[in-house]
């Protein structure tokens, strides 16, 4: 396993400073205002010099740093920057586990091949984050998630560090306080300290006691003290998985395949929207069907690009034509082989524009004939259609009226 952990430096504060350079060099505290109840969300490194830190009560922060600049967070703005960061991260990871807006684990085993490759990727991520977004991050490269997290902390801010073996992890950590181990919070640390277990070495040497004291968490810490951590990077945002898909389960089995094809158009549009939202496009389309007897099949085809929802739909429809036509319980479409959207080259701009125009026309023609078949206005309601469970309700409506 080769894992990269990326952590943005003072993320909210850094975004605000980037957008208003007059804040640079000043203690900036983002969170509640001093006259409100609440806590510090993030603060600039200048504010940290006064002892301010995140999750601190805002009144305490104000006592330490009365001359600081206090500001409410602008979550929409940070979310947009976070989406852009995920596009960068996703272009290197086969799996990406997002921990917060500003922090993620990337499994780069496949892409990097070895630690030299991973180091190059790490520096490229730092460079792109600086050049494309005007922000700095700290990056750790390691053989495991906890070692990667430890590595990215090691040289913060704007840091790079690597921990390539469990032995390197152990020699770095052995004499440190137990708090240095990932997942050891204040409470756990106090428990261990009370029993005289103060350093990582103490955990190594007194592992039975640690297990008795902390149970399951103790077992985990005992392994971690030796650098052992096999947890995989687990994507949980759909856009961080290797594919982006949408599927629908019917309340009653469907054996009308022209209805299924119509549904594929809507699912393809939905998939296309999700992909565009996160700036990804695919090079493969896959169709999934679960039949009434719960047997599932998947059929896939590589394509040049899934830039257009029509391409997704046509490919999926072709795949549908070639499967066994039995009553279906579920149908789904996904795109895979994802990568970040390419910038169209200037020389072929016009061509693309013309092609886009043509496919938009074809798409609206398809949607209006679909609408006519079911007595629905799809073209005018696309934005609403893909929200929450509206798509599912619409498809159920189509099923009942087919």
Give the binding range for Mg ion (CB under 5 A) out of 8-16, 69-77, 358-366, 386-394: 8-16
Closer CB to Mg ion, residue 137 or residue 317? 137
In whole angstroms, the minimum distance from the beta carbon of 100 to Mg ion comes to 7
In whole angstroms, the minimum distance from the beta carbon of 24 to Mg ion comes to 18
In whole angstroms, the minimum distance from the beta carbon of 170 to Mg ion comes to 26
Report how far residue 248's alpha carbon sits from residue 332's, in angstroms, rounded to the nearest whole number: 6
Report how far residue 203's alpha carbon sits from residue 168's, in angstroms, rounded to the nearest whole number: 17
Closer CB to Mg ion, residue 41 or residue 278? 41
Closer CB to Mg ion, residue 101 or residue 143? 101
Give the binding range for Mg ion (CB under 5 A) out of 1-9, 73-81, 263-271, 390-398: 1-9
Residues ≥6 apart with Cβ < 8 Å to 36: 58
Give the binding range for Mg ion (CB under 5 A) out of 2-10, 140-148, 287-295, 353-361: 2-10
The token pair at 307 is 């830039």
The token pair at 30 is 């983002």
Asked whether position 272 contacts Mg ion by CB under 5 A, the answer is no
103 is catalytic: yes
Report how far residue 252's alpha carbon sits from residue 13's, in angstroms, rounded to the nearest whole number: 52
The token pair at 325 is 């036509």
Q: Rg (Cα) of the chain, in Å, rounded?
A: 26
Per the CB < 8 A criterion, the answer to whether 252 and 289 are in contact is: no
Measured CA to CA in angstroms, residue 20 lies from 14, 32, 131, 154, 402 at distances of 10, 19, 17, 29, 57
In whole angstroms, the minimum distance from the beta carbon of 254 to Mg ion comes to 47
Per the CB < 8 A criterion, the answer to whether 91 and 340 are in contact is: yes
Q: Which of 16, 46, 97, 103 is catalytic?
A: 103
The 49-88 contact track toward Mg ion, x by CB under 5 A, reads ----------------------------------------
In whole angstroms, the minimum distance from the beta carbon of 321 to Mg ion comes to 49
Q: Is 255 helix (H, G, I), strand (E, B) or coil?
A: coil
| Cis peptide bond upstream of 280, omega within 30 | no
Closer CB to Mg ion, residue 7 or residue 272? 7
Instruction: Choose, by CB under 5 A, the member of 2, 5, 7, 221 that binds Mg ion.
Output: 7
Q: What is the 3-state secondary structure (H, E, C) of 223-243?
A: HHHCCCCCCCCCCCCHHHCCE
Closer CB to Mg ion, residue 104 or residue 267? 104
In whole angstroms, the minimum distance from the beta carbon of 135 to Mg ion comes to 11
Footprint of Mg ion on 90-109 (CB under 5 A):
102
Residue 97, H or E segment: strand 95-100
Closer CB to Mg ion, residue 14 or residue 108? 14
**Footprint of Mg ion on this chain (CB under 5 A)?**
7-8, 102
Task: Just list the catalytic residues.
Answer: 103
């Amino acid at each position: 396993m080769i894992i990269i952990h990326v952590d943005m430096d003072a993320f909210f504060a850094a975004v605000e400073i980037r957008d208003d350079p007059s804040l640079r060099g000043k203690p900036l505290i983002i969170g509640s205002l001093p006259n409100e109840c609440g806590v510090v969300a993030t603060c600039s490194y200048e504010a940290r010099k006064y002892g301010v830190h995140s999750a601190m009560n805002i009144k305490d922060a104000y006592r330490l740093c009365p001359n600081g600049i206090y500001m409410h967070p602008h979550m929409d703005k940070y979310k947009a920057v976070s989406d852009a960061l995920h596009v960068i991260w996703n272009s290197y990871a086969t799996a990406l586990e997002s921990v917060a807006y500003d922090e993620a684990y990337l499994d780069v085993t496949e892409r990097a091949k070895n630690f030299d490759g991973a180091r190059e990727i790490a520096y490229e991520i730092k460079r792109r984050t600086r050049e494309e977004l005007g922000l700095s991050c700290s990056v750790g490269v390691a053989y495991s998630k906890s070692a990667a997290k430890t590595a990215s902390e090691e040289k913060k801010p704007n840091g790079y560090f690597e921990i390539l073996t469990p032995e390197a992890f152990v020699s770095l950590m052995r004499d440190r306080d137990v708090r240095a181990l990932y997942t050891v919070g204040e409470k756990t640390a106090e428990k261990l300290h009370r029993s005289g277990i103060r350093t990582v070495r103490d955990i190594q040497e007194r592992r039975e006691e640690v297990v008795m004291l902390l149970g399951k968490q103790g077992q985990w810490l005992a392994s971690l003290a030796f650098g052992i951590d096999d947890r995989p990077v687990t994507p949980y945002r759909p856009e961080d998985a290797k594919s982006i898909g949408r599927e629908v389960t019917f309340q009653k089995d469907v054996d009308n395949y022209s209805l299924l094809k119509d549904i594929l158009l809507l699912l393809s549009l939905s998939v296309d929207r999700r992909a565009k939202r996160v700036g990804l496009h695919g090079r493969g389309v896959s169709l999934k069907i679960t039949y009434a007897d719960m047997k599932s099949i998947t059929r896939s085809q590589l394509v040049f690009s899934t830039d257009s929802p029509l391409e997704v739909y046509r490919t999926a429809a072709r795949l549908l034509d070639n499967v066994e036509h039995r009553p279906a319980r579920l149908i789904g479409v996904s795109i895979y082989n994802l990568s970040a959207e390419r910038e169209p080259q200037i020389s072929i701009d016009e061509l693309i524009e013309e092609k886009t125009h043509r496919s938009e026309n074809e798409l609206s023609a398809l949607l209006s004939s679909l609408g006519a078949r079911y007595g629905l206005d799809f073209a005018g309601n696309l934005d609403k259609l893909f929200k929450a469970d509206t798509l599912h309700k619409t498809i159920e409506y189509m099923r009942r009226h087919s």
